Amino acid sequence: MQTNNMVSLKELAVGKKGMIVRITAKGSLKRRFLDMGLVQGAQVKVKGKAPMGDPIKVDIKGYNLSLRKKEADEIYVEVE
């Protein structure tokens, strides 16, 4: 799923920022995202990606998280 400025967090380039606009995860994964502060309206920045792209290091609300590509593909951001 991709529209004008909306991409999955997995697709966001290193150094780019985006605002979370949609989370497609369900159940316990969605709960985990919410517990980590990955909520609609939050700003995230991709700080780095491992050589094979997994995991992805992101900055949200001043702290760093590492997400697997599969997890990052469940979060959609509007690119800033």
Q: How far apart are CA 66 and CA 71, in angstroms?
A: 10
**Residue of 80, 75, 59, 78 whose CA lies nearest to 22:** 75
Tally of domains within the chain:
1
Within a domain: residue 19?
Answer: yes
Q: Is the pLDDT of residue 53 over 80?
A: no
pTM of the model: 0.86
Binning pLDDT at 50, 70 and 90, where does residue 1 land? Answer: very low
Within a domain: residue 1?
Answer: no
Which burial class, exposed, middle or buried, applies to 50 when counting CB atoms under 10 A from its CB (0-12, 13-18, 19+)? exposed
Q: What's 67's domain CATH number? A: 2.30.30.90
2-30 pLDDT, tens per residue? 456 899 999 999 999 999 999 999 999 99
